[in-house]
Structure 1
Amino acid sequence: MEQDTGEEGRIPTVGVVVARTGRLARLGDPLAYVMELVGPKLRGRVRLVSRDSRSTAEGARRAVRELVRDEGARMVVTLAGTEVLPAVADSCEEAGVPCLSSTFPWQVYFYGRGATEERPFRWTYHFCWGLDDIAETFADLWEAAGAGPDRAVGCLWNDGPQGAWSRHTAHGFLPAARARGYRLVDPAGYREPSAGFDGPGGTLAAFREAGVDVVTSAATGADLALFRRQAAAYGLRPRLITCSRWLAYPPAATAAGEPAQADVGTLVYWTPDHPYRSSLDGMTAAELAEAYERATGNRWLQPLGLAYALFEVAFHALSAATDPTDPPSVAAALGATRLDTMAGPLDWTSGPVPNVATVPLSGGQWQRGRTHPYELVVVDPRNVPGLRAGGELVRPGGG
């Protein structure tokens, strides 16, 4: 989608890298929809142009080159993708073009791309939660399920970047969970997609031997569904499973009739009930979710709020910059941004590290619903002022 302003050069261009084809195409839906929604609100002030990342790192790099070279983009925004998002940010850093991104734990974004507090990025900025925030949120859910400190928590982590960063002893999930007193049982990481977890000396055997009562993961839906089937056959029935990653999305039915998310605890960063509204026109979170469902016929998605905030912050930075056509001026404006957005209050002046603003997390669970077979219910809203719980945590099977 492109906005034709007829005033080339005077109105700054924001390039949008979004997956429209390939394995991440579904993850690109929120960003593509929000771009269409906010386009008319920004017409005459900002020109929006998009390129397909094709769900690959090379496609993402090509998209950035085209947006900068062919469209004159003064800023680039993007969401999602373990390989795609860093490729977009790194390409912008190399090209000297300000970039704004989200939906990627900030430690992976910052340290994983080689920055330090002493040597931060010059052009690339990000807002998200951290791996430590996920660990704290999940630990709260474990305790709500009756699994207090000193209990064994089984880690279902892969052998790729997701697992490596979860295990990271300085910046990962592991140290934050251990600081809460939990004993983490981490067998060898599995290769995605998993061929199984029930072999001799495998994950399930390690969990049983250690007396695992709770399982935490960052698995795909397919791998988590496989684990749950094999765990049940193995006689392992944890009191709670917590999982992040794609499990924040509405579930799809499996061959067995139940989604992988059923009764799974997960992170919650945006819902129609969050007390957030747009800095562009006052649209509320509830109104955004309703508009998406009406336009697409699909259920609302958590990334909608973050996608919307990308454009809010981009517009704010371009408006606040001394010269919106000058990259250093735009980057400086991004780094000084403090703004109440559809994703909540974002503040780059007090982030945990330079270039980063954080998003608070609540604890949620996929429970049997009234409108849909399973719905995401906020069960622990304590970290978001004004957000109310939609229910209490339930044990698997409804107990």
Structure 2
Amino acid sequence: MSRRGLITAAGAGGLALGAGPLWAQAASAAPVLKVGFISPRTGPLGALGETDTFILAQVRKTLAAGLTIGGVKYAVEILDRDTQSDPARASQLAKALINSDKIDLMLTTTTPETVNPVSDACEAAGVPCLSTVMPWEAWYFGRGAKPGAPSPFKWTYHFSFGGGSFTTSYTSQFAALPTNKKIGVLYPNDADGNAIRATLAPELAKAGFTVVDAGPYENGTTDYSAQIAKFKAERCEIFNTFPIPPDFATFWRQAAQQGYTRMVKIAQIAKTGLVPSQVEALGPLAINLGAGCFWHKTFPYASPLTGLSGVQLADAYEASTGKQWTQMLGSTMSLFDAGTEALKASTNPRDKAALAKAISTLKATAMQGPVDFAKGPVPNVSVTPVVGAQWVKPAAGSKFKLDLLVTENATDRNIPVAAALKSYS
């Protein structure tokens, strides 16, 4: 071999030796699981996503060392997106995560405006999706499933409260005070309102309450004089509503101006009133409002992902942000709890069919409580509890303006009751 050939051969050998460790490093790198997370963090529903940044930081910190499944260690990448409270944007974001980012699992939360379009995109694309925080009837029947018929869904699963949860909680809550048992209901003409009108209202009537329905109204309505006049004429001492937060603020201020709030003994709100900022904006009108509580820091369940109790999570959030804890802390953590439990239960988390099957039989306890898709009440759904709670003046020395106390626990007796329900007026 010539001197030039020897140098060339040596150079090639050196390159090969240099490439060896790089190739070995690439081959030994952990495979990556991509998890999409879609929620509303800005817009009219933005208050419901205000804890997301904190929860994402906790989850990413916990998963930084990876997730071992079936003896294989996976890196986990969470791709989070803000819908800006726009259903069309929610759908677009989901499709981008599916088609461009090639996610393995989708997680989504909070109201039909977010959850349904994301679930629909995943169902169409064959991507496993797990969701929470909206009535399961609005998710299941609102997306085309029919009562008594087989489930049309193969890829999408939902764990959350439903009409039955509210019926059990509300009948328990409403029995706590003497009233004339007349309930004025203000349900919007949207997926939540129509599902609740079809499920909750008839059950309340069966329980012996007179339901006075002011009729469907459109989101964004600015004048509620006709509805208020009807509730006053019927002397509805109980009031119940499922509006978007800005609509309730408008209604309740008008109800106070027109004298309706003075006859209300129980004001039970849902969808709004979930976080302190929504009720604090009402000033004195917020005191003694009743709320449906799907998570409270005193729930007796810890996060299997982070190991934190509810109190520990709430305290960490308040210390980190200076803001008061909210229900969404525990529910969003529960979504990641259930999602990681499903990933671990699958034989191959990169196999979408195997992952969907693992979700369909998932039985775990998240921070919010038990999740069991084998129990139903319909395929693809696991029902979680809602308990009654009330916004009250805080104890002396509190740095916050209001406190949320659990007042009944009919849907889960393991949850501690902190106070008796007080009359609103």
TM above 0.5: yes
Which of residues 181, 184, 190 is equivalent to 2:211? 184
Residue in structure 1 matching 2:87, options 44, 57, 60: 57
Give the Cα–Cα distance (whole angstroms) in 2 for the partners of residues 394 and 175 of structure 1.
26
Alignment deviations for residues 310-339 of structure 1 (CA, whole Å, 9 cap, x no partner): 112211212221221111100000011100
Measure the CA separation in 2 of the matches of 1:384 and 1:254. 28
* Aligned partners of 2:133 and 2:160 also within 8 Å: yes
Deviation of residue 366 (structure 1)? Answer: 0.8
**Distance in 2 separating the partners of 1:276 and 1:302:** 14
Equivalent residue, structure 1, for 2:19: none
Partner residue in 1 for 2:384: 359
Question: Contact 1:30–1:304 (CA<8 Å) still a contact in 2?
Answer: yes
SS for the counterpart of 1:215 is strand
User: Structure 1 stretch 35-44 or stretch 232-241: which is displaced more?
Assistant: 232-241
- Which among 132, 136, 140 is matched to residue 106 of structure 1? 136
In structure 2, relative to structure 1, the CA distance for the partners of 1:211 and 1:95 (3 Å cut) is same
Question: Measured at CA, do residues 278 and 188 of structure 1 come closer, stay the same or move farther in structure 2, by a change above 3 Å?
Answer: closer
TM-superposed deviation, 1:208: 2.8
Shift of 1:205: 2.5
SS at match of 1:363: strand
Distance 2:352 2:30 in 1: 14
Distance in structure 2 (CA, Å) of the matches to 1:321 and 1:49 = 21
Counterpart selection for 2:109 from 56, 79, 84: 79
- Within a 5 Å distance, the mapping from 1:1-399 to structure 2 comes to 10-43=31-64, 44-45=66-67, 46-116=76-146, 117-147=149-179, 151-168=181-198, 172-198=199-225, 202-236=226-260, 237-252=263-278, 257-259=283-285, 261-370=286-395, 371=398, 372-397=400-425
Distance in 1 separating the partners of 2:168 and 2:413: 17
Residue identity opposite 1:142 in structure 2: F
CA separation of 1:203 and 1:8: change in aligned 2, threshold 3 A:
farther
Letter in 2 for 1:331: A
Distance in 2 (alpha carbons) for counterparts of 1:70 and 1:176: 45
Aligned-pair CA distance for 1:309: 1.5
The gaps in structure 2 that reach 5 residues or longer are: 1-25, 68-75
* Superimposed CA distance per residue, residues 50-108 of structure 1 (whole angstroms, 9 cap, x where no aligned partner): 23323222221222222222322110001113322101000000110000110010000
How far is the alpha carbon of 1:381 from its aligned partner?
Answer: 2.4
Asked which structure has the greater CA Rg, the reply is 2
In 2, the alpha carbon distance for the partners of 1:90 and 1:191 equals 24
Can you list the C-alpha shifts for 1:20-59, whole angstroms capped at 9, x where unaligned?
4433333222333212111121232222222332322222
- Could you tell me how far apart the structure 2 residues matched to 1:30 and 1:232 are? 31
Instruction: Report the CA distance shift for 1:217/1:313 in structure 2 as closer, same or farther (over 3 A).
Output: same
Answer 1 or 2: which has greater helix percent: 2
Shift, 1:254, TM fit? 6.7
Q: 1:153 to 1:52 in 2, by over 3 A?
A: closer
Match of 1:340, SS?
A: strand
CA–CA separation in structure 2 for the residues paired with 1:35 and 1:21: 16
Contact kept? 1:76, 1:99, Cα under 8 Å: yes
* Aligned-partner residue type, residue 55 of structure 1: S
- 2:223 aligns to what SS in structure 1? coil
Per-residue deviation, residues 123-164 of structure 1 (Å, max 9, x unmatched): 00111000232133122222112136xx22111222333332
Per the normalisation by structure 2, the TM-score is 0.84
Q: Distance in 1 between matches of 2:114 and 2:362?
A: 25
1:8 CA drift (Å): 7.6
User: Which range is displaced more, 248-257 or 316-325?
Assistant: 248-257
Secondary structure of the residue aligned to 1:365 is strand
Letter in 1 for 2:46: A
Q: Give the Å deviation of 1:222.
A: 3.9
Total equivalences in the alignment: 384
Per-residue displacement from partner, 1:186-223 (whole Å, max 9, x unpaired)?
1233333332222xxx2222223323221111134443
Is the Cα contact below 8 Å between 2:135 and 2:192 reproduced in 1? Answer: no
Residues 334-385 of structure 1 deviation map (CA, whole Å, 9 limit, x = unaligned):
0111001111111111121111111112111111112222211111124323
TM-score (norm 1): 0.89
Give the drift of 1:233.
4.1
Change (3 A) 1:284 1:162: same
Deviation at 1:247, TM superposition (A): 1.2
What is the identity, as a one-letter code, of the residue corresponding to 1:188? G
